[in-house]
Structure 1
Amino acid sequence: MRKRSSRGRAALAVVAAALLGVAGCDTGGGGSPAPGTTKARAAKPAPLWDRSPSSIAAVGDSITRGFDACTVLSDCPEVSWATGSDAKVDSLAVRLLGVTGAAERSWNYAVTGARMADLPDQMAQAATRAPQLVTVMAGANDACRASASAMTPVADFRAQFEDALRILRAALPKTQVYVASVPDLKRLWSEGRSNPLGKEVWKLGICPSMLSGADDLTGAAMSRRERVQQRVVEYNRVLKEVCAKDRRCRFDGNAVYDYRFGTDQLSHWDWFHPSKDGQARLAAIAYRTITAPDPAA
């Protein structure tokens, strides 16, 4: 009996040891963490899109320079939707970085009159600052030419935008890019043409392909405006498609194009460029797109 008892106790000890070993694995004490443990969760890669970047550079055209928002035919970068300091605008930089942060860590390389062909050089300048986010608003001047036939061809527009992104990526592979759609130029014509002063300023050469002969409603004039409008739609399709190929790029989903600018959102100097209120609306659209959990949100 005693011999059998000893063998029984030995067998129980082996079973107990085996059970303890299994229990140790279940509680994370084994060589690899069980699914759902802290170590397993820590191995999950960080999301590609940072919703709170700590520095911003802006590239683009007159809209980002705040043109005609403060005085006639002049830039006013302090009211820029992207990097401005004006409290009424509450720019993207201020919303993301705070007043002090915006002053120290945001840069505006946009140029009034710039077209997509100018974006590669602007992007190269922006890259020297190593920003965590670059904002892009360009394309309106490619449609706003002396005539509809002088508009930038869509293929050239695409190649120029792709070139700009390549330049940025060569220097800063992880910098994020926010791309705003080109505004609805035909709507701006429709809203602004009701103001006599605005129409006089338009005669100085603002977007002639769309705005010349502001009160001309003949078939030829309307057909010209439709051509310009269609080109803007095509530009926005390019912006969307090119941006979609870059995992760290977000297009605004045509939010700027779809925004129904009214007279309060238009410059009271030219009734075409955004006013301070219009700049604030652009800042809100950008902030909403950049901070959304998902690009489509």
Structure 2
Amino acid sequence: MRRARGAFAAALLAAVLAGCTPAASTPDETPAAPTPTPTEVRPAIIDEVTRIVVLGDSVTLGVNACPAEDRICGSASWATGNAEVDSLAVRAAAQNPAVEVQSLARDGARLSTALGNLDHVVGEHAQLAIVFLGANDACAPSLGEMTEPEQFRDELGQLLDALAADTDPEVLLVEVPDLENVWEQGHGNGRALRVWASTPACRSLLADAEDTGPAAEARRAAVSDRVEAFNTVIEDVCAARPRCTTDGGAVHDHPFRSPELSSIDYFHPSEDGQRVVAELIWAALARVPSGTP
């Protein structure tokens, strides 16, 4: 992790990860990180809304989460999946049966994708909006094609302005995950290296993944720096808006290990990883202000 987090991130991770023990390792597999255990968290905001809209990318779609399924495995989505991943939709319905969760996730989506689809986004009339975007703004074909931080700031502001002008929902912004962690987990795995070499995905990070020379290390560090810059933007923009909350870096800071990453592409969350994301975002929703004392 390249920058210190606030007290919330540490407290949140301690709360949801307490009492678990990492699994034993094998030569090609890093031990699994402690998986968040079920909590008694009941976000008050869930009792006050009936319309939750999630803006996301391939992670929210459940891409490559299920080895036996098609590429998009909706049943394993942290947002709208089934009880096996204890998704947001499952958790919210258990607390408030009137809640509907609508996912507007798109494969490969950047923050600009939501702006290009703004009429549809606003047309969903969210009472609570969860925005989990930004990974593809750093996961680009090259370093030069990553989104610039100031452009990211402008686009995020436009999106939040549009939401506020419609239903002025409460907004939870999920910070961008630690992309370099994916390389750290897989670069010693021969199969992962072969998969990464055969796909055009995220070349800014995964090109020449076996290379540990100075130039390759600098390129991967530049991707991490851009992720950190995006997360600083998310925190700054959100802090200036009274109806905006971040996850405090909880998803970024979780050390996803091999069992929590897809065995298909060694990049997206597996079903176990999706379950972790669902738990972390559910816990973060407890920070969203509500009218309930």
Give the structure-2-normalised TM-score. Answer: 0.78
Is 2:273 the counterpart of 1:281? no
Counterpart position of 1:64: 60
Q: 1:155 aligns with which of 144, 150, 155?
A: 150
Moved more, 153-162 or 197-206: 197-206
Structure 1: 5+ residue stretches without partners: 1-48
| Corresponding residue number in structure 2 for 1:171 | 166
Shift of 1:288: 0.6
2:241 maps to 1:227? no
Q: How many residues align?
A: 244
d(CA) in 1 for partners of 2:96, 2:195: 37
Letter in 2 for 1:78: S
Residue 82, structure 1, aligned to residue 79, structure 2? yes
SS in 2 for 1:164: helix
Identity percentage of aligned residues: 37
Q: Cα deviations across residues 176-201 of structure 1 (Å, max 9, x unaligned)?
A: 11111111111111002232222222
Asked if the contact 1:56/1:135 (under 8 Å) is kept, the reply is yes
Which residue does 1:96 correspond to in 2?
Answer: 92
Distance 2:128 2:117 in 1: 14
1:100 positional shift: 9.6
Q: Cα 1:222–1:289, aligned 2, differ >3 Å: closer, same or farther? A: same
Q: Is the CA contact (8 Å cut-off) linking 2:46 and 2:95 kept in structure 1?
A: no
- Do the aligned residues in 2 keep the contact of 1:134 with 1:176 (CA within 8 Å)? yes
Larger relative contact order (CA 8 Å, sep ≥ 6): 2
Q: Is the 8 A contact 1:58 1:83 kept in 2?
A: no
* Alpha-carbon spacing, 1:54–1:291, altered in 2? closer, same or farther (3 Å): farther
CA contact (8 A) 1:183 1:257 kept: yes
* Structure 2: runs of 5+ lacking an equivalent: 1-43
Q: Does 1:253 align with 2:248?
A: yes
For 1:75, the aligned partner's letter is I
Paired AA for residue 236 in structure 2: E
Normalized against structure 1, the TM-score is what? 0.77
Which of residues 110, 114, 123 is equivalent to 1:115?
Answer: 110
| Alignment correspondent of 2:182 | 188
Give the partner amino acid of 1:107: Q
Q: Counterpart of 1:107 in 2: which secondary structure?
A: strand
Asked if 2 retains the 8 angstrom alpha-carbon contact of 1:115 and 1:139, the reply is yes
Task: Indicate the structure (1 or 2) with the bigger Cα radius of gyration.
Answer: 1
In 1, the alpha carbon distance for the partners of 2:182 and 2:214 equals: 19
| Larger mean Cα displacement after TM superposition, 197-206 or 110-119 | 197-206
Higher helix share: 1
**Structure-2 change in CA distance of 1:176 and 1:293 (3 Å):** closer
What CA RMSD, in Å, does the superposition of the two structures yield over aligned residues? 2.2
Q: CA-to-partner distance for each residue in 1:193-227, whole Å, 9 max, x for gaps?
A: 23222222212112110111111001000000111
Paired position in structure 2 for 1:205:
200
